[in-house]
């Protein structure tokens, strides 16, 4: 999803440090009455660029990658209300948990998990952790707890096998967090099968809500939407390296018409030149990581 500037007619109110929305502007009522209005999800009180418990995922504007300091700050500046980061083990000692998408090094100044959580908790946004390496999940969950992220603003995204292993622990520690369930492996190049859909539904029943079902755009079927929606909102993302709709706004509208009620995170397709640059960047990152480990 491209970064779009926030409307100049809607300035960013100061965040109060909780998920109850911004402080009342000067000259407007504050105190217990204003707090009760905020608790009642009064749209005139809450800051739409933040996230709160009970806000429908259909209203999420997700910043798909906020792993580096520059990307994180850009997401805040451009009004996204949900921030997504990828968690891996740092390549070099002390091998802490950090925000990184690829296996190798990436361009930019990557945040540590602790830094990302601290900044995210203070921002008032929803926080989606896409956990790429899951062997240290207890440590990751300790970091989330230490940062004090409100459960209603937290989403944990795991692959199918990892969610089956770690989902019960996440649910035990953060009962109000949203668990993002992904499809198990399916046929190469095919749509979601009935087997995959039933596996996702069964897992959601086991874990309990809140859950969302995360499905790649080209895999989605109307049958999957009908089966999964009663258990939790279906969320859709696209791989910009694959064929991508030319009009993303129209595509999102079409998805809503089909019954998609979760987060829609569509990004523009990549040109051949950008794909080549990404491939070269990935190879250089792997080479830099290998050289660092040798050194």
Strand partners, 88: 98
User: What is the reported pTM?
Assistant: 0.79
pLDDT of residue 274: 46
- pLDDT mean over 184-201: 91
Is residue 34 in some structural domain? no
Which of these, 242, 171, 253, lies nearest to 211 by C-alpha position? 171
User: Lowest-confidence range among 181-190, 226-235, 259-268?
Assistant: 181-190
Is residue 285 in some structural domain? yes
Instruction: Give CA–CA dist 72/77, Å, rounded.
Output: 9
Percent of the chain with pLDDT over 90: 73
- pLDDT mean over 5-34: 31
Is residue 14 in some structural domain? no
Provide the 3-class DSSP secondary structure of residue 71.
helix
Number of domains comprising the chain:
1
14 DSSP 8-state letter:
P
Q: How many helices (H) and strands (E) does the chain have?
A: 9, 9
Angle, nearest 10°, between helix axes 137-147 and 113-123? 40
Task: Please spell the DSSP secondary structure of 100-143, one letter per residue.
Answer: -SSSS--SS-BPBHHHHHHHHHHHT-EEEEEES--TTHHHHHHH
Q: How far is CA 142 from the centre of its chain?
A: 19
Is residue 11 in some structural domain? no
The domain of 124 spans 49-294
The predicted-structure confidence for 89-135, as pLDDT tens digits, reads as follows 999 999 999 999 999 988 999 999 999 999 999 999 999 999 999 99
In this predicted model, which residue has the larger pLDDT, 272 or 25?
Answer: 272
Q: Write the CB contacts of 61 (distance below 8 Å, at least 6 apart in sequence).
A: 1, 79, 80, 81, 82
Mean pLDDT of the chain: 83
Q: What are φ and ψ of residue 126, in 5° steps?
A: -70, 150
Is residue 18 in some structural domain? no
- pLDDT mean over 199-215: 98
Instruction: Give CA–CA dist 179/45, Å, rounded.
Output: 28
CATH number at residue 178: 3.20.20.190
Instruction: Give CA–CA dist 217/143, Å, rounded.
Output: 32
Is residue 42 in some structural domain? no
């Amino acid at each position: 999803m491209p970064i779009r500037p926030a409307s100049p007619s809607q300035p960013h109110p100061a965040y109060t440090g909780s998920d109850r929305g911004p402080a009342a502007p000067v000259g407007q009522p504050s105190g217990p009455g204003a707090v009760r209005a905020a608790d009642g999800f009064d749209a005139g009180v809450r800051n739409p660029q933040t996230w709160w418990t009970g806000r429908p995922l259909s209203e999420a504007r997700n910043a798909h990658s906020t792993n580096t300091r520059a990307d994180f700050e850009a997401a805040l500046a451009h009004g996204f209300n949900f921030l997504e980061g990828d968690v891996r083990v740092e390549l070099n000692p002390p091998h802490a948990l950090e925000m990184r998408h690829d296996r190798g090094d990436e361009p930019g100044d990557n945040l540590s998990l602790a830094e990302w959580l601290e900044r995210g908790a203070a921002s008032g946004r929803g926080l989606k952790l896409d956990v790429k390496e899951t062997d240290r999940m207890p440590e990751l969950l300790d970091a989330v707890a230490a940062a004090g992220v409100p459960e209603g603003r937290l989403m944990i995204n795991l692959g199918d096998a990892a969610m089956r292993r770690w989902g019960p622990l996440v649910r035990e520690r953060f009962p109000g967090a949203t668990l993002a369930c992904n499809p198990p492996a399916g046929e190469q190049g095919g749509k979601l099968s009935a087997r995959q859909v039933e596996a996702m539904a069964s897992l959601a029943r086991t874990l309990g809500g809140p859950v969302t079902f995360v499905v790649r755009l080209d895999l989605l079927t109307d049958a999957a939407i009908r089966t999964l929606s009663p258990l939790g909102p279906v969320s859709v993302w696209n791989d910009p390296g694959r064929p991508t709709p030319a009009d993303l706004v129209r595509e999102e509208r079409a998805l809503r018409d089909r019954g998609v009620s979760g987060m829609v995170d569509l990004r523009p397709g990549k040109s051949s030149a950008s794909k080549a640059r990404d491939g070269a960047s990935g190879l250089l990152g792997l080479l830099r990581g290998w050289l660092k480990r040798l050194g």
